[in-house]
Amino acid sequence: MQFETVIGLETHAELMTESKLWCGCSTRFGEPANTQTCPVCLGMPGSLPVMNKKAFELAVKAAIAMNCRLNTETFFDRKHYFYPDLPRNYQVSQNYCNLGVEGYIEIPVDGEIKKIGIWNVHLEEDAGKNMHVEYPGANFSLVDLNRAGMPLLEIVSAPDMRSVGDAESFMQTLRRILLYSEVSDCRMQEGSLRFEASISLNKPGETLTGGRVEIKNLNSMKAVKACLEYEIERQTKLLKGGQTVERETRLWDEIKGVSRRMRSKEEAHDYRYVPEPDLVKYRIDSGWLEQLQADVPELPVKRRARFIKELGLNEYDASVLTDEKALADYYEGVLEYHHSPKKVANCIMNEVRAILNEKKIDIAQFSVSCKDIAALVETEENGRITDLGARDVLGEMVNTGKDPETLVEELGLESINDTDDLEPLIKEAIEAMPKAVEDYRAGKKKAIGALLGQVMRLTKGQADAKTVKGLLEERLDSMGD
Ligand SMILES: [Zn+2]
């Protein structure tokens, strides 16, 4: 029997702020343990939190980007639990009045667009980090509170995903939305983006065949994928064997590639949520809201669709160019100087990206201006240089900072299209390759390729291949027997 897979994802994203959520401590990653703390984030008695305005604004922007209904008057709650990395024994989060509710995002799946509901988006503080010392005989753990009090965005999806592929596309789309709207840097290796999954299997037509299993400790998209695949197999086996899938929370062991039971439903926490009395209620007035709405850029799925529809790009090019906001901005920047969407796309997809890969830099670090790339594409389009020539010119633009016009002359890369210039070279090629000539004249038209190659070699790739081919054909066809 085939079961229907039901997946929901809870995402935590570290917000891009300079300071923590309630205090002025730095959020910089990788500093020595416990050097970025103060009485507030250490939970000292008598210390009071003050809302970080930037963090609040980023959370609102994220909620807007995910099409949520905003609670324009909102407050925070204490979520109680004990853990050594949580100095106050409660986490300030939102439970009763989430900043954004009932939203959705659109994800591409197999060439179609699928809507995935977002139950809520809210702001909360991160906890510190326990470090379990792992050497023989060690009988203690350490705690680093640099992360305690960092602003965190929690995004809870509806259980709208039906396959591992859906979940993968959801995570990628969500990541791009957060990057595009400059809400989070989404650096997975630094823990800026973390996931928890819930998964259950149903018989067709049934809604609660298997219990809902929640899985924690998923630190990469790869881990989410592996864990979902593992759970689908584990739960299918149980159901097919006539057993039940219990509602429980499991932990993913990335190294062993298995999930382990953490606690059952009966042991689930009661967090005793109460409104946080140390913070005021926050009201977003219409002026502020308008400002924040204007701050949310056109999002990747929309931009990709526009590139296809209005600029005539194919799906692949549009996807690559909109993958990163900076790259898409650069592309459109070039179009402002020279509106030739396909040619400019080709240049960025091939030549520019080759340089970025080679130098291991991203587009923000690329030294050539949009204006100069536009000029380069125009020069190539006019037939003044060949695509090979364009590659050389671009390389020199990066090295010298000079504009394409100057370089074409300096490097002598002007393409050779003049018949008078080409004739002697064609003659030379024909004399050098009698076998190819013979084959061509005997009806093996493909033999012209060898002659064409020879002429291109003689011009160091600066001739226009189409012109040369035409001239060669003319010459060969008019040769006497
Ligand atoms: Zn602090």
Enumerate domains of the chain plus CATH numbers: 4-287 (no CATH), 298-411 (no CATH), 419-477 (1.10.10.410)
How much is the average pLDDT of 192-203? 91
Amino acid of residue 24 = G
Nearest to 392 by CA among 365, 354, 364: 354
- Token couple for 335: 């179009």
The Å distance, Cα 20 to ligand 1 centre, comes to: 7
Please give the Cα distance from 72 to 295 (Å, whole number).
17
Please give the Cα distance from 43 to 26 (Å, whole number).
16
Please give the Cα distance from 107 to 171 (Å, whole number).
9
Q: According to the model, what pLDDT value does residue 327 have?
A: 93
Q: According to the model, what pLDDT value does residue 364 have?
A: 87
Q: According to the model, what pLDDT value does residue 410 have?
A: 78
Q: According to the model, what pLDDT value does residue 95 have?
A: 93
Q: According to the model, what pLDDT value does residue 265 have?
A: 65
Q: According to the model, what pLDDT value does residue 266 have?
A: 62
The Å distance, Cα 128 to ligand 1 centre, comes to: 12
The pairing of beta strand 100-109 with beta strand 112-125: antiparallel
How much is the average pLDDT of 155-160? 96
Least confident stretch, 2-6, 88-92, 422-426: 422-426
Residue pair 223/252 in contact (Cβ under 8 Å)? The answer is yes
Higher pLDDT: 453 or 155? It is: 155
Q: According to the model, what pLDDT value does residue 392 have?
A: 83
Measured CA to CA in angstroms, residue 350 lies from 186, 320, 355, 481 at distances of 27, 11, 9, 45
pLDDT at residue 101 greater than cutoff 80: yes
The Å distance, Cα 31 to ligand 1 centre, comes to: 14
Q: Based on C-alpha coordinates, what's the Rg of the chain?
A: 30
The Å distance, Cα 153 to ligand 1 centre, comes to: 18
Angular region, 10: left φ>0, alpha ψ -120 to 50, beta rest: beta
Nearest to 65 by CA among 182, 232, 211, 238: 182
Q: According to the model, what pLDDT value does residue 362 have?
A: 86
Q: How wide is the angle at C-alpha 157 spanned by C-alphas 73 and 18, nearest 5°? A: 60
Q: Is 11 helix (H, G, I), strand (E, B) or coil?
A: strand
How much is the average pLDDT of 78-84? 92
Q: According to the model, what pLDDT value does residue 44 have?
A: 94
Q: According to the model, what pLDDT value does residue 409 have?
A: 77
Q: According to the model, what pLDDT value does residue 413 have?
A: 67
How much is the average pLDDT of 234-238? 91
Amino acid of residue 366 = F
Rounded to the nearest 10°, the torsion over CA 13, 14, 17, 23 is 130
The Å distance, Cα 144 to ligand 1 centre, comes to: 13
Measured CA to CA in angstroms, residue 21 lies from 39, 62, 197 at distances of 13, 16, 26
pLDDT at residue 269 greater than cutoff 80: no
Please give the Cα distance from 324 to 143 (Å, whole number).
36
pLDDT at residue 195 greater than cutoff 80: yes
Please give the Cα distance from 91 to 94 (Å, whole number).
10
The Å distance, Cα 89 to ligand 1 centre, comes to: 16
208 pLDDT band (50/70/90 cuts)?
Answer: confident
Span 9-57, pLDDT tens digits: 999 999 999 999 999 999 999 899 999 999 999 999 999 999 999 999 9
- Number of Cβ within 10 Å of residue 336's Cβ equals 10
How much is the average pLDDT of 73-98? 93
pLDDT at residue 462 greater than cutoff 90: no
Please give the Cα distance from 232 to 163 (Å, whole number).
10
pLDDT at residue 103 greater than cutoff 70: yes
Q: According to the model, what pLDDT value does residue 480 have?
A: 66
Q: Supply the mean pLDDT for the chain.
A: 89
The Å distance, Cα 13 to ligand 1 centre, comes to: 19
- Token couple for 193: 């983006």
- Token couple for 124: 């909360």
Q: According to the model, what pLDDT value does residue 65 have?
A: 95
The Å distance, Cα 196 to ligand 1 centre, comes to: 27
Q: According to the model, what pLDDT value does residue 267 have?
A: 62
The Å distance, Cα 90 to ligand 1 centre, comes to: 16
234 pLDDT band (50/70/90 cuts)?
Answer: very high
144 pairs with which residues across the strands?
129
Please give the Cα distance from 409 to 46 (Å, whole number).
73
Please give the Cα distance from 315 to 111 (Å, whole number).
9
The Å distance, Cα 404 to ligand 1 centre, comes to: 52
Nearest to 329 by CA among 184, 180, 183, 185: 180
Please give the Cα distance from 137 to 248 (Å, whole number).
33
Secondary structure (DSSP) of 270-296? ----EE-TTS--EE--HHHHHHHHHHS
Span 397-440, pLDDT tens digits: 888 888 888 877 777 766 776 777 788 888 888 888 888 888 88
Please give the Cα distance from 474 to 479 (Å, whole number).
9
The Å distance, Cα 43 to ligand 1 centre, comes to: 9
Helices (H), 101-162: none
Nearest to 141 by CA among 130, 156, 149: 130
pLDDT at residue 289 greater than cutoff 80: yes
Q: Residue 359: what are its φ and ψ, rounded to 5°?
A: -90, -5
Q: According to the model, what pLDDT value does residue 17 have?
A: 96
Q: How many helices (H) and strands (E) does the chain have?
A: 16, 16
pLDDT at residue 281 greater than cutoff 90: yes
pLDDT at residue 157 greater than cutoff 70: yes
The Å distance, Cα 220 to ligand 1 centre, comes to: 28
How much is the average pLDDT of 196-216? 85
Please give the Cα distance from 255 to 107 (Å, whole number).
30
How much is the average pLDDT of 269-294? 92
The Å distance, Cα 52 to ligand 1 centre, comes to: 12
Most confident of 149-158, 243-252, 384-393: 149-158
444 pLDDT band (50/70/90 cuts)?
Answer: confident
State the distance between the two ends of the chain, measured CA to CA, in whole angstroms.
75
The Å distance, Cα 19 to ligand 1 centre, comes to: 8
pLDDT at residue 481 greater than cutoff 70: no
Higher pLDDT: 228 or 395? It is: 228
SS3 content of the chain, % helix, strand, coil (to 5): 40, 20, 35
How much is the average pLDDT of 305-324? 91
Q: According to the model, what pLDDT value does residue 479 have?
A: 77
Q: According to the model, what pLDDT value does residue 306 have?
A: 94
